[in-house]
């Protein structure tokens, strides 16, 4: 199951036996795991760097796992969550899935079910991290544009022809073409559709 | 716990305050008698006009008293109250016909026809009926104390009581009107009575004294105390009407006697009314308290079940995961025996932990002794059925009760035994509510057999299969979508803790019967 050495699973369960057993199970398939008794201890350990996912016991002593999941998001932990519960009922699992959990397992669960869910979670998290990294790159590139180039990119991405852009910015069409070439180079866009896609992603945040 | 039934007028022993109040009323009556005596034979002119008002007041008060006595009978099943209710009803109704036939009130000859004897004939029956009714009550009380009749169909008993009183009142009035000519001459004219009338009064006095003595030999209740006061007023009324007023109507003594009679009837009716109001308030309150307790118990049980599930599920879940991990450590290209061994050790520890949870649970619940008192099975059934009333209504079920006439007491914990009954009734209601169209009957029977009291709850529901019957008392065997499957298991635990047995069997005409027996205490004296 190991795909990348820095991928990690976080386990939050108040029961020490369950924690130890889970850590050992993951270790037996070469997966690094860190276990915490409380969500506070997990949050205090700092945000994970590599792709990760969280295995969260729904029935923690103080608060419900659903609340904890909300706290994780609030603290900037976007790793996918797998709920494990000793007494899952249908409304609870529905609520968990709606809140963004990728899997809801009832204890005791089949080890393969958990491992599959973890693998899926990590894949989702890796994709998320890659997209985030890509976006971060584009942000940096966008920052290198001049104000005029940013205007030109915006108009080009919205589908305006060079002539229209020249008219609305009160510059010559030649100048628009120069700006546009600069934008394509600085944003590392190989084609107009790619530039449009990058622009949309930047707009979406 | 519902409050013991000793707050009810018909059952409660009088307090010193009750006795003082009764004595004070009697003293007032005697003082009134003495005050009126010198003027007793003075006529009160044109006082016929007051007779309708007097009769209306009497009718209203007697109806109130009769209604409340019937209500107390319905609540308590005390059959002795019925003859008393019938008497009050009869006396009230005949007060109306007495006034209607009174010469010179509605018409010179009385409204219903007849002659001047008619009113006196009705009066004679009324004079005799009241002490006779009290005597009937005393006899019924003694009968009831000996174990009493099996109480079946209380509604018919009430209807019968009312019918008898109505019929008697109608018959007496008809007779007085139609056969007045054949009656012994009670009246010389519209006002003055004969010596024959005085014989009636003597008979009434003898009956009143007999009723008073009979009442005094009973174990007195508050109701009896007020009946004694009423008898005293009745006695004084006769003295005033018949003797001090020289048997002449519409005199000071005659009216004073009427007033005393009315006052004593009012005392009984108002005492009953106050008691009934208080009873209703208390019944509602106790029902609310009991419902809250029931809800709390259910909530506690659910929380307990959830916590047991959690406590045992955690080690079990750890065991499963550890075993899976151990297999994976051994399945590796280079098996990691040390890691697998560590998992096996963890499995052993978690297994011990799960067992400890069960042990703790057993010691928490098994070792508690239960407080035992003498439990009256009919009382227990009544309170359980009262509590289950709203559930029965919801299920559209009709409950019938069949009690053997004298059941021995049972040593036990009333709250726990009531819980058994409530669980069984609840199951029965649920069983019959699924029966489509067919009758939704739930029957509770109790009888004594050997040295046990047997109680059976049967229903007309779909019944149970052999499998269901065999496993009915095992935990978590619910056939209900929301059931925990603990109800019958709890019943069995409680019954067996009381030294009894519980069993399920198919009913004779379909449905299911759950029967349990409890060892009886000493036989009832």
A9: left (phi over 0), alpha (psi -120 to 50) or beta: beta
In angstroms, the CA B475 to CA B489 distance is: 6
DSSP character at residue B10: T
What would you report as the CA-atom Rg of chain B, rounded to the nearest whole angstrom? 34
Least Cα separation, residue A36 to chain B (angstroms): 15
Pick from B302, B305, B309, B321 the residue to mutate for testing the A interface (most A CBs within 10 Å). B321
Strands (E), B336-449: 373-375, 398-403, 410-412, 441-449
In angstroms, the CA B87 to CA B197 distance is: 22
Token output for B329: 């450590």
Segment B386-397, tens digit of pLDDT:
778 777 877 788
Token output for B341: 């061994």
Closest-CA residue of B relative to A84 is: B317
pLDDT for res B483: 58
Helix (H, G, I), strand (E, B) or coil at B117: helix
Segment B310-357, tens digit of pLDDT:
788 889 999 999 999 999 999 999 999 999 999 999 999 899 888 887
Token output for A182: 């600069």
Q: Of B55-64, B72-81, B399-408, where does mean pLDDT reach its minimum?
A: B72-81
Contact status, residue B286 vs residue B75, Cβ threshold 8 Å:
no
Q: Of B149-158, B369-378, B511-520, where does mean pLDDT reach its minimum?
A: B149-158
A197 burial type by CB count under 10 A (0-12 exposed, 13-18 middle, 19+ buried): middle
Contact status, residue A54 vs residue A127, Cβ threshold 8 Å:
no
In angstroms, the CA A104 to CA A97 distance is: 7
Segment B41-56, tens digit of pLDDT:
888 877 888 889 999 9
Task: Give φ, ψ of B250 to 5 degrees.
Answer: 60, 30
Q: Do B328 and A108 lie within an 8 Å CB cutoff? A: no
Q: Does A71 touch chain B (CB under 8 A)?
A: no
pLDDT for res B365: 64
Arithmetic mean of pLDDT, B458-481: 72
Contacts of B339 in chain A (CB under 8 A): 24, 27-28
- The DSSP bridge partners found for residue B457 are B444, B514
Arithmetic mean of pLDDT, A165-190: 91
Q: Which among B314, B332, B343 has the least Cβ separation from residue A86?
A: B314
Q: At CB < 8 A and 24+ separation, what contacts does B203-206 make? A: B203/B127, B203/B128, B204/B127, B204/B128, B204/B131, B204/B238, B205/B235, B205/B238
Q: Do A18 and B309 lie within an 8 Å CB cutoff? A: no
Contacts of B346 in chain A (CB under 8 A): 17, 20-21, 24
pLDDT for res B328: 94
What is the three-state SS of B277-301? HHHHHHHHHHHHHHHHHHHHHHHHH
pLDDT for res B66: 92
Helix (H, G, I), strand (E, B) or coil at A31: coil
Token output for B484: 């925990």
Task: State what percent of residues in chain B have pLDDT above 70.
Answer: 89
Indicate whether A119 pLDDT > 90.
yes
CA distances for B146 relative to B149, B150, B254, B454, angstroms: 9, 12, 42, 21
Count of CB pairs separated by less than 8 Å, A with B: 74
Indicate whether B206 pLDDT > 90.
yes
**Where is A10: in which H helix or E strand?**
strand A8-12
Residue whose C-alpha is closest to residue B395's, from B355, B436, B361: B436
How far apart, in Å, do the first and last CA atoms of chain A sit?
Answer: 33
DSSP character at residue B181: G
Segment B85-134, tens digit of pLDDT:
999 999 999 999 988 888 878 777 777 777 778 888 888 899 999 999 99
Residue whose C-alpha is closest to residue B2's, from B213, B288, B319, B338: B288
Q: Do A22 and B329 lie within an 8 Å CB cutoff? A: no
Contact status, residue A24 vs residue B339, Cβ threshold 8 Å:
yes
Token output for A175: 């100048």
Segment A56-82, tens digit of pLDDT:
887 655 566 677 777 888 887 888 999
Token output for A102: 């990728």
Q: Do A24 and B309 lie within an 8 Å CB cutoff? A: no
In angstroms, the CA B261 to CA B267 distance is: 10
Give per-residue burial for B278-290: e unless 16+ CB within 10 Å, then b.
ebeeebeebeeeb
**Where is B454: in which H helix or E strand?**
strand B452-459
Q: Which among A24, A28, A87 has the least Cβ separation from residue B310?
A: A87
In angstroms, the CA A184 to CA A204 distance is: 20
CA distances for A107 relative to A37, A119, B103, B116, B302, angstroms: 17, 19, 94, 96, 20
What is the three-state SS of B189-236? CCCEECHHHHHHHHHHHHHHHHHHHHHHHCCCCHHHHHHHHHHHHHHH
């Amino acid at each position: 199951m190991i795909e990348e050495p820095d991928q990690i699973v976080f386990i939050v369960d108040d029961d020490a036996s369950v924690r130890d057993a889970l850590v050992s199970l993951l270790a037996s398939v070469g997966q690094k795991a860190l276990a915490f008794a409380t969500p506070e201890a997990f949050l205090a350990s700092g945000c994970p760097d590599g792709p990760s996912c969280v295995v969260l016991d729904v029935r923690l002593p103080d608060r419900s796992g659903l609340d904890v999941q909300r706290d994780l998001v609030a603290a900037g932990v976007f790793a996918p969550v797998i709920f494990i519960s000793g007494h899952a009922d249908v409304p609870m699992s529905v609520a968990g899935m709606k809140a963004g959990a990728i899997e809801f397992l009832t204890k005791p669960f089949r080890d393969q079910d958990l491992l599959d869910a973890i693998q899926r979670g990590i894949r989702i998290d890796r994709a998320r991290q890659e997209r985030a990294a890509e976006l971060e790159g584009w942000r940096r590139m966008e920052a290198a544009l001049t104000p005029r180039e940013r205007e030109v990119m915006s108009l080009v991405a919205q589908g305006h022809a060079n002539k229209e852009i020249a008219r609305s910015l009160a510059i010559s069409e030649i100048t628009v073409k120069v700006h546009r070439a600069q934008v394509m180079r600085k944003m590392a866009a190989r084609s107009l559709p790619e530039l449009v896609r990058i622009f949309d992603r930047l707009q979406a945040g | 716990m519902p409050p013991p039934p000793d707050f009810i007028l018909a059952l409660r022993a009088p307090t010193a305050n009750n006795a003082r109040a009764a004595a004070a009323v009697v003293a007032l009556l005697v003082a009134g008698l003495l005050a009126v005596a010198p003027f007793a034979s003075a006529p009160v002119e044109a006082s016929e006009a007051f007779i309708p008002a007097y009769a209306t007041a009497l009718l209203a008060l007697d109806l109130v008293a009769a209604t409340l006595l019937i209500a107390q009978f319905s609540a308590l099943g005390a059959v002795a109250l019925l003859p008393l209710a019938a008497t009050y009803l009869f006396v009230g109704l005949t007060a109306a016909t007495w006034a209607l036939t009174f010469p010179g009130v509605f018409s010179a000859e009385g409204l219903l026809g007849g002659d001047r004897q008619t009113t006196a004939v009705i009066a004679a029956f009324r004079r005799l009926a009241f002490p006779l009714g009290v005597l009937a009550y005393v006899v019924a009380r003694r009968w009831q104390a000996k174990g009493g009749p099996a109480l079946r169909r209380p509604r018919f008993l009430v209807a019968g009581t009312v019918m008898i009183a109505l019929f008697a009142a109608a018959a007496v009035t008809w007779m007085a009107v139609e056969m007045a000519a054949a009656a012994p001459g009670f009246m010389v004219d519209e006002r003055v009575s004969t010596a024959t009338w005085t014989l009636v009064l003597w008979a009434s006095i003898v009956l009143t004294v007999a009723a008073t003595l009979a009442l005094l030999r009973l174990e007195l209740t508050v109701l009896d105390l007020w009946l004694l006061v009423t008898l005293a007023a009745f006695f004084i009324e006769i003295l005033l009407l018949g003797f001090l007023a020289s048997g002449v109507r519409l005199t000071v003594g005659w009216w004073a006697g009427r007033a005393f009679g009315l006052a004593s009837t009012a005392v009984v009716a108002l005492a009953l009314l106050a008691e009934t109001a208080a009873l209703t308030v208390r019944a509602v309150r106790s029902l609310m308290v009991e419902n809250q307790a029931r809800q709390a118990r259910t909530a506690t049980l659910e929380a307990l079940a959830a916590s047991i599930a959690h406590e045992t599920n955690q080690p079990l879940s750890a065991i499963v995961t550890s075993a899976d991990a151990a297999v994976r450590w051994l399945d590796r290209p280079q098996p990691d025996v040390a890691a697998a061994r560590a998992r096996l050790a963890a499995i052993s520890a978690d297994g011990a932990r799960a067992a400890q949870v069960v042990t703790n649970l057993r010691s928490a619940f098994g070792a508690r002794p239960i407080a035992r008192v003498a439990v009256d099975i009919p009382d227990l059934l009544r309170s359980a059925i009262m509590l289950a009333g709203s559930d029965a209504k919801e299920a559209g079920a009709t409950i019938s009760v069949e009690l053997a006439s004298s059941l021995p007491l049972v040593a036990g914990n009333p709250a726990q035994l009531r819980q058994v009954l409530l669980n069984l009734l609840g199951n029965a209601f649920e069983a019959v509510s699924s029966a489509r169209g067919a009758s939704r009957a739930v029957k509770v029977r109790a009888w004594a057999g050997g040295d046990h009291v047997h109680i059976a709850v049967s229903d007309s529901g779909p019944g149970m299969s052999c499998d269901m019957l065999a496993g009915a008392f095992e935990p978590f065997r619910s056939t209900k979508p929301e059931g925990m499957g603990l109800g019958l298991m709890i019943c069995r635990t409680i019954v067996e803790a009381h030294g009894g047995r519980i069993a399920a069997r198919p009913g004779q005409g379909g449905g299911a019967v759950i029967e349990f027996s409890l060892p009886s205490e000493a036989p009832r004296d």
